[in-house]
Amino acid sequence: MAAGEQRIDKWLFFARVVKSRSLAQKLAISGAVRVNREKISHAARLVRPGDVLTISIHDRVRILKILDPGDRRGPAPEAALLFQDLTPARADAEPAVAQDDG
């Protein structure tokens, strides 16, 4: 494994995308993860900084650019430093329109 590379299941776990490494493995095997638009089917796929992940999880799609491989599963603020979230704002989250009462 070259410097800066990491298995995708470990990265998903360290970045707190999922709660356990076994869930990360299942997510990768299920076909719900793409690396640079390429669908993957195994948890041992290596990822590196600059790769863009498209993840279908919890009825939404997240797009994450890997900035750094993790060393451990740390607190959420530390995990947030591992990626840049490129997910566009959800369309159903539009602000409510004020109604004219008169």
* Domains of the chain, first to last: 6-88 (3.10.290.10)
**Residue 50, C-beta contacts closer than 8 angstroms, at least 6 positions apart:** 65, 66
What is the pTM for the complete model shown? 0.84
Q: What's the CA gap between 79 and 72, in Å, rounded?
A: 9
**Residue 95, C-beta contacts closer than 8 angstroms, at least 6 positions apart:** none
Residue 61 forms beta bridges with which residues?
56
Q: What's the CA gap between 84 and 51, in Å, rounded?
A: 11
> pLDDT (tens digit, 0 to 9) for every residue of the chain, 102 residues total?
677 899 999 999 999 999 999 999 999 999 999 999 999 999 999 999 999 999 999 899 999 999 999 999 999 999 999 999 999 987 665 555 556 665
Residue 45 forms beta bridges with which residues?
none
Which pLDDT belongs to residue 89? 86
